[in-house]
Amino acid sequence: MKGKTAIVTGAAKGIGRAIAELIAEKGARVALVDKNKAALDEAVAAMNAAGHQVLGIEADVTRREPCHKAFGAAVSAYGKIDILVNNAGLYIRTPIEKIDDKEWDLIFDVCLRGVFHMMTAGAEHMKAKGSGKIVNISSVDGFVPFPAMAHYAAAKAGVISLTRSFAAAYAEHGVLVNSVAPGATDTGPMRENDYIQKLSQKIPLKRGAQPREIAEAVCYLAGDSNTYTTGENMIVSGGLVIA
């Protein structure tokens, strides 16, 4: 990825930060996009101190205007964008019967609407220059029933569908679009109430993933080695979901 430029949304913590760090370690300049300014500033400072070329863009990527503005800011800073990783998401556990319209809209705004608008900005930019890679973070919950988070699962299924549609639409322009579906991953939300430990008993590898392991999958799809894979969803779940 040396000489490449990238945008990672939801990059201040967890999987997003691991992705941004690994892309930077591989030689790319990275724009970290997040609405959490304090966490974003900390991540940018740490990565710059490690010798990486990164910048922070504070944005709430749930509507078209801020999404396109954030993408434009990265283009202004770097001149072009070669890689877009849509990682921003919101993980709320609510039983089906207790999901109200406000929470439904919030989940879909963060997990699906924002992905669509960032993809639109990214795909059109990459189409104009004749190449690019887009990787969306979906979830194994997009493949299996999940009554405790039906809205989240539905939104992530939507991400998988959008990935396929964009892949078909932009393949002829040299833009490869794929998604990665993590299973249980050792991040803050998954540690609440020992959820990841409980779920680990159902995982054939008997543990959750480390964020870096998800980042490795993303970097394959976003890197130079991927020249022929598009419209695919790579499941990284330790065997929890085998499709």
Indicate the pLDDT class of residue 193, thresholds 50, 70 and 90: low
Burial (CB count within 10 angstroms: exposed 0-12, middle 13-18, buried 19+), residue 57: buried
R_g over Cα of the chain: 17
pLDDT at 115: 98
The neighbouring-strand residues paired with 7 are 31, 84
**Within-domain flag for 241:** no
pLDDT tens for 202-226 read: 899 999 899 999 999 999 999 999 9
pLDDT tens for 32-54 read: 999 999 999 999 999 999 999 99
**Within-domain flag for 170:** yes
Number of domains in the chain: 1
Q: Tell whether pTM > 0.75.
A: yes
Exactly one of 78, 91, 152, 170 is catalytic; name it: 152
**Within-domain flag for 243:** no
Active site residue 152: yes
Q: What is the CATH number of the domain that holds 227?
A: 3.40.50.720
- The whole domain housing 198 covers 5-236
